[in-house]
């Protein structure tokens, strides 16, 4: 079967011919429908994130997938069911560990998991994949087109769950949120905040940071979602209070190392900054005393978050169902065949979210 | 009556003769028993924290008090009841605000409160003080000697409540805590962690940071509490993982601006750093990219916390009741009369916690 992969010692994509996988006991065989592309895939290709599966010379990419059960293999799933896979798995040959046992592999520390398509395990960018059924989330049939967005949305669901939890010891009444980053994850999160599902309904005013000139499709989306576009070249993150207002929540999805620190100044008292970006090492000078003091005297919090698991995928399904058609159409700027993979991975200002379609239901 | 105060334009203590206060409707008159001294008092004297009450040329100090109701003034309190006052009040003449209305003045932003003895209101270091009774916490009679510790303990109770809340979205099972600072607040918190009251019973291993040579009374206390002393000159905060272990919670009470950033490296995956120190501005170079990345990839959190209110004072009473006598005797290294105030404020390596006694019950 066809698989989109990278090979050791190279930094470019190939369409390989690899054996179709056979499901083990407890696993189903899934025919792949669509697999989305995100920044992590580019980091994996560039070698700054993730690692190859053991004893292979290639890594099949892809962690944002939707597929259809081809062979239930005696499991409780029905053939023909549309499913979305989670990403983390036990390392090959490893016994279970406490994080997987309690259903929280997203909280597992380094070395106790692999991530499909990212770190130590093949991804979903192939015509078929297998998975233990506990990691396959059934979704409505109508989700076959956009179900690949459930994985990135689920990462935001988890991050925001952590952020709300961090403010749960008191009567927090947030009204404003500032999304850092107008990439797909930023725009998906802005849609979560503005499509008014609990608990995000609380955000009456939303802002989204970018560094683009008008006319620009991401600015159009931000404004159609009733968000306010903030151009970081005119209004740095830590100056939003001067131009608009200090905000109750900052959601960071840029991976820019200084945003963590600028977030503290952007937050209103009792606010929380939630961090999802993965910056490289980067040293700079900061007034650390001021940042520390503001966190304390204004009861602020910062929460880092990575990955997600079944409950977050379930909530992501609910969020996806609230997104209007125009938003999904505008967000997904390209659907490519496997043979067009290199085009799908091209990153320019007209591309927002692209996806590779392996088959239709 | 006698009051210990500072005067505008000076940075030294005076024992002033001021009028005995008269309680307004809803207020009780309290005869002061003891008032503790802490780092905030030194910052107020030095001018780096707080501000004078409006239209006065002096500021009565003191925010860690215990007293006895002298005149209940028609309120529900009984005369002779031992009480501990909270610190935040509405600004003089101000209408109420949402934070006070919902019983969370500790979450109120700047400008919507004053703090007795610190910012905009006289403190409790006088023979008598008045207070609305909603801010007076009744305590057992036996607490007259050490009840002044309830205010500082309550600050830790709130901070740790925020920290546990920040980890409440998943099944967090912390085992180790690292207290930064061997001052009174650090030692009180170590006692909270080691005297095994829920939820602190979870900490099987505790560490406490100082920079003292043996023999030293704070090291003796740390070790008698079954904590491990960590000398910051040998083991910087961010190297605790190399020498001992990465920890599930870091509790910062040093006010040293770099500790916020070193805390991230000291935390185990899924850990939380809780910050109480109030550093001055201080610029330095850090690898902000690495700090940001560690917060994200290891699901870590940082929580700032200031002040406390009635529920935290109530829990602080429970914590104080668990502290062994030897601990309180060792912690409180001096009891002074008002006339000895300048001695009480002397800060050397033999003093841990000092207190001014205005009267006995």
pLDDT tens, residue by residue, A38-89: 999 999 999 888 999 998 999 999 999 999 999 999 999 999 999 999 999 9
In a shared domain, residues A209 and A227? yes
Distance from the A358 Cα atom to the nearest Cα atom in chain B, whole angstroms? 31
Element (H, E) at A132: strand A128-132
pLDDT computed for residue A11 by the predictor = 86
User: Residue A278 is encoded by which pair of tokens?
Assistant: 């993965």
**CB of A207 within 8 A of CB of A230?**
yes
Annotated ligand binding at A305? The verdict is yes
Percent of chain B at pLDDT above 70? 100
Which residue in chain B is spatially nearest to A282 when comparing CA positions?
B289
Is B96 in the A-facing interface, judged by CB distances under 8 Å?
Answer: no
Return the CATH number at B115: 3.90.180.10
Closest CB to A296 among B268, B276, B295: B276
Please say if the pLDDT value at position B205 is more than 90: yes
Residue B314 domain flag? no
A307-356 pLDDT, tens digit per residue, is 999 999 999 999 999 999 999 999 999 999 999 999 999 977 789 999 99
Please say if the pLDDT value at position B202 is more than 90: no
Please say if the pLDDT value at position A9 is more than 90: no
User: Residue A353 is encoded by which pair of tokens?
Assistant: 């979210």
Residue B310 domain flag? no
Distance from the B254 Cα atom to the nearest Cα atom in chain A, whole angstroms? 11
Q: Is A62 helix (H, G, I), strand (E, B) or coil?
A: coil
The residues facing A58 across adjacent strands are: A7
Residue A253 domain flag? yes
In a shared domain, residues B101 and B198? no
Mutate to test the interface with B, among A113, A288, A311 (most CBs of B within 10 A): A288
pLDDT computed for residue A95 by the predictor = 87
Please say if the pLDDT value at position A241 is more than 90: yes
Contact B166 A161 (CB under 8 A): no
Length of chain A: 361
B313-343 pLDDT, tens digit per residue, is 999 999 999 999 999 999 999 999 999 999 9
Closest CB to B279 among A162, A293, A302: A293
pLDDT computed for residue A360 by the predictor = 97
How many CB atoms are located within 10 Å of the residue A154 CB?
29
To the nearest 10°, the Cα dihedral for B34, B38, B42, B47?
A: -100
* Average pLDDT along chain B: 96
Mean pLDDT computed over A234-244: 98
**CB of A71 within 8 A of CB of A23?**
yes
In a shared domain, residues B158 and B300? yes
Closest CB to B302 among A270, A277, A295: A295
- ipTM computed for the complex: 0.97
Closest CB to B296 among A161, A275, A296: A275
Please say if the pLDDT value at position B257 is more than 90: no
Contacts of B278 in chain A (CB under 8 A): 293, 296-297
In a shared domain, residues B127 and B92? yes
Mutate to test the interface with B, among A282, A304, A305, A312 (most CBs of B within 10 A): A304
Is A166 in the B-facing interface, judged by CB distances under 8 Å?
Answer: yes
**CB of A227 within 8 A of CB of A196?**
no
Distance from the A90 Cα atom to the nearest Cα atom in chain B, whole angstroms? 17
pLDDT computed for residue B199 by the predictor = 79
In a shared domain, residues B232 and B123? no
The residues facing B207 across adjacent strands are: B178, B228
pLDDT computed for residue B48 by the predictor = 87
Closest CB to A104 among B170, B278, B281: B170
pLDDT computed for residue A202 by the predictor = 83
In a shared domain, residues A214 and A274? yes
pLDDT band at B9 (very low <50, low <70, confident <90, very high): confident
In a shared domain, residues A257 and A339? no
The most distant pair of C-alpha atoms in chain A lies apart, rounded to whole Å, by: 61
The residues facing A131 across adjacent strands are: A28
Residue B189 domain flag? yes
In a shared domain, residues A220 and A137? no
Mean pLDDT computed over B258-284: 96
Residues A296, B166, A150, A278, CA torsion sign: positive
How many CB atoms are located within 10 Å of the residue A235 CB?
17
What's the structural domain count of chain A? 2
Percent of chain B at pLDDT above 90? 93
Return the CATH number at A273: 3.40.50.720
In a shared domain, residues A109 and A242? no
pLDDT band at B349 (very low <50, low <70, confident <90, very high): confident
A51-65 pLDDT, tens digit per residue, is 999 989 999 999 999
The residues facing A253 across adjacent strands are: none
**CB of B31 within 8 A of CB of B128?**
yes
A117-126 pLDDT, tens digit per residue, is 999 999 999 9
Closest CB to B282 among A168, A171, A289: A289
User: Residue B126 is encoded by which pair of tokens?
Assistant: 């006088």
The domain in which residue B272 lies consists of: 153-304
A–B CB contacts, 8 A cutoff, strictly below: 189
Annotated ligand binding at B307? The verdict is yes
**Which parts of A25-87 are beta strand (E)?**
27-36, 58-60, 64-71, 82-85
Contact A281 B287 (CB under 8 A): yes
pLDDT band at B179 (very low <50, low <70, confident <90, very high): very high
Residue B312 domain flag? no
Please say if the pLDDT value at position A303 is more than 90: yes
In a shared domain, residues A274 and A182? yes
Contacts of B168 in chain A (CB under 8 A): 165, 168
Contact B166 A305 (CB under 8 A): no
pLDDT computed for residue A336 by the predictor = 98
Q: Rounded CA gap, B355 and A78, in Å?
A: 73
Is B310 in the A-facing interface, judged by CB distances under 8 Å?
Answer: no
Q: Peptide bond before A20: cis, by omega within 30 degrees of 0?
A: no
Is A101 in the B-facing interface, judged by CB distances under 8 Å?
Answer: no
Is A19 in the B-facing interface, judged by CB distances under 8 Å?
Answer: no
Helix-, strand-, coil-residue percentages of chain A, each rounded to 5: 30, 30, 40
In a shared domain, residues B115 and B168? no
In a shared domain, residues B258 and B334? no
């Amino acid at each position: 079967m066809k698989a989109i992969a990278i090979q050791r010692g190279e930094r470019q994509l190939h369409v390989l011919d690899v054996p179709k996988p056979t499901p083990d006991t407890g696993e189903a065989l899934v025919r792949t429908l669509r697999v989305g592309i995100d920044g992590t895939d580019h980091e994996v290709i560039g070698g700054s994130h993730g690692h190859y599966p053991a004893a292979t010379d290639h890594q099949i990419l892809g962690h944002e997938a939707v597929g259809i059960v081809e062979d239930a293999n005696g499991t409780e799933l029905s053939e023909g069911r549309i499913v979305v896979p989670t990403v983390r798995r036990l390392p090959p040959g490893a016994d279970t560990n406490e994080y997987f046992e309690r259903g929280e592999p997203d909280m597992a520390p380094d070395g106790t998991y692999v991530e499909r398509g990212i770190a130590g395990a093949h991804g979903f960018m192939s015509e078929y994949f297998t998975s233990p059924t506990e990691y396959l989330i059934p979704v409505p049939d109508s989700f076959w087109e956009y179900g690949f967005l459930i994985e990135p949305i689920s990462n935001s669901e988890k991050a925001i769950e952590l952020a709300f939890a961090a403010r749960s010891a008191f009567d927090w009444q947030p009204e404003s949120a500032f999304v850092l980053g107008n990439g797909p994850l930023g725009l998906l999160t802005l849609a979560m905040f503005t499509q008014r599902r609990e608990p995000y309904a609380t955000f009456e005013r939303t802002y989204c940071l970018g560094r683009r000139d008008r006319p620009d499709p991401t600015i159009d989306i931000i404004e159609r979602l009733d968000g306010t576009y903030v151009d970081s070249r005119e209004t740095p993150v830590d100056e939003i209070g001067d131009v608009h207002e200090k905000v109750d929540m900052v959601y960071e999805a840029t991976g820019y190392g200084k945003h963590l620190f600028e977030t503290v100044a952007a937050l209103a008292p009792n606010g929380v900054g939630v961090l999802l970006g993965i910056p490289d090492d980067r040293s700079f000078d900061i007034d650390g005393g001021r940042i520390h003091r503001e966190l304390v005297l204004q009861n602020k919090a910062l929460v880092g978050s990575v990955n997600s698991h079944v409950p977050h995928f379930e909530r992501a399904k609910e969020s996806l169902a609230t997104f209007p058609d125009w938003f999904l159409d505008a967000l997904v700027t390209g659907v490519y065949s496997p043979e067009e993979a290199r085009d799908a991975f091209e990153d320019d200002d007209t591309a927002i979210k692209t996806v590779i379609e392996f088959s239709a239901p």
